[in-house]
């Protein structure tokens, strides 16, 4: 993790993939504003000092991308004054239907899963980006279970619409591998057996996903428009998230 990445990382003891997307560069010379948009794994475990640290960030809106069954199983972010909770489930096929085969191209496998999510979950993804575009919702936290796949797609689309270069979007996405390692270590230490496939987050997966989305829809903005986002929302996104 370089100095910029370290500055964006926010440490917690029971949340392992939490970071600020602020500081990333846009092509027009501006940068994503700090302390406006965060991404993470599920915050349902936080309490005590972690909860105090989270409250100090002043997050106004939590966007939970998990399946309803995952929310029912684990619970949601603790309630805090002036914190709005929005549950959005982008429709997608369970990954168990198409399991990763060890030895095959992991980046290709992940990009295909993200493309499928972008197709079936378009309305939910656009709704999430629309909430991020509304300045009155900020600061916003976007999360799923591990904070790498569904969260990665929403954040990737958001950053692309802001004009952040694909290489920087992919580099941020790849940071989730470190968060997952921390989560696995914590979970094993707590006596648990992680029921997730041994997947990481190769930067090439996000690069492939974004490139192929543009091939199909013309641009990320055109994909978001076709999914329900308006030009006014896209302009609002840039107005309050770029400095």
pLDDT tops 80 at residue 32: yes
pLDDT the model gives residue 193:
52
Whether the full predicted model's pTM is greater than 0.75, yes or no, is yes
88, 89, 154, 159 from 83: Cα distances, Å: 16, 19, 20, 24
Higher pLDDT, 196 or 59: 59
What are the tokens at 177? Answer: 């591998």
pLDDT the model gives residue 105:
93
Q: Using one digit for the tens of pLDDT, what is the confidence trace for 113-168?
A: 999 999 999 999 999 999 999 999 999 999 999 999 999 999 999 999 999 999 99
pLDDT the model gives residue 180:
87
Closest CA to 61 of 90, 84, 89, 36: 84
pLDDT tops 90 at residue 19: yes
pLDDT the model gives residue 75:
97
pLDDT the model gives residue 37:
98
What are the tokens at 233? Answer: 């929302």
pLDDT the model gives residue 97:
85
> To the nearest whole number, what is the mean pLDDT of the chain?
93
Which residues make beta-bridge pairs with 25? Answer: 31
pLDDT tops 90 at residue 35: yes
pLDDT the model gives residue 3:
45
Closest CA to 179 of 3, 4, 8: 8
- State mean pLDDT over 235-242: 98
Query: CA–CA separation, 153 vs 156, rounded Å?
Result: 5
pLDDT the model gives residue 191:
56
- State mean pLDDT over 48-70: 97
Length of the chain: 243
Q: Using one digit for the tens of pLDDT, what is the confidence trace for 63-121?
A: 999 999 999 999 999 999 999 999 999 999 988 888 888 889 999 999 999 999 999 99
pLDDT the model gives residue 195:
52
Planar angle of CA 223, 126, 239, nearest 5 degrees: 90
pLDDT tops 70 at residue 23: yes
């Amino acid at each position: 993790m370089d100095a910029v990445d370290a500055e964006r990382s926010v440490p917690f003891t029971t949340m392992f993939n939490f970071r600020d997307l602020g500081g990333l560069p846009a092509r027009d010379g501006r940068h994503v504003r700090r302390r406006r948009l965060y991404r993470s794994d599920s915050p349902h475990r936080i309490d005590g000092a972690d909860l105090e640290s989270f409250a100090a960030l002043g997050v106004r809106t939590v966007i939970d991308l998990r399946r309803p069954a995952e929310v029912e199983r684990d619970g949601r972010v603790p309630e805090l004054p002036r914190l709005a909770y929005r549950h959005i489930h982008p429709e997608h096929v369970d990954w168990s239907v198409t399991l990763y085969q060890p030895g095959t191209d992991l980046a290709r496998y992940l990009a295909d899963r993200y493309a499928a999510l972008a197709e079936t979950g378009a309305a939910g993804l656009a709704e999430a980006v629309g909430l991020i575009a509304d300045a009155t919702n900020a600061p916003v936290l976007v999360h799923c279970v591990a904070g790498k796949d569904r969260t990665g797609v929403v954040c990737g689309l958001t950053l692309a619409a802001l004009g952040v270069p694909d290489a920087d979007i992919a580099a941020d996405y790849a940071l989730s591998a470190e968060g997952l390692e921390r989560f696995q270590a914590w979970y094993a230490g707590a006596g648990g057996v992680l029921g997730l496939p041994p997947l990481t987050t190769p930067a090439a997966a996000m690069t492939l996903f974004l490139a192929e989305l543009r091939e199909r829809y013309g641009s990320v903005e055109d994909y978001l428009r076709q999914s329900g986002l308006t030009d006014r929302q896209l302009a609002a996104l840039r107005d309050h998230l770029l400095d």
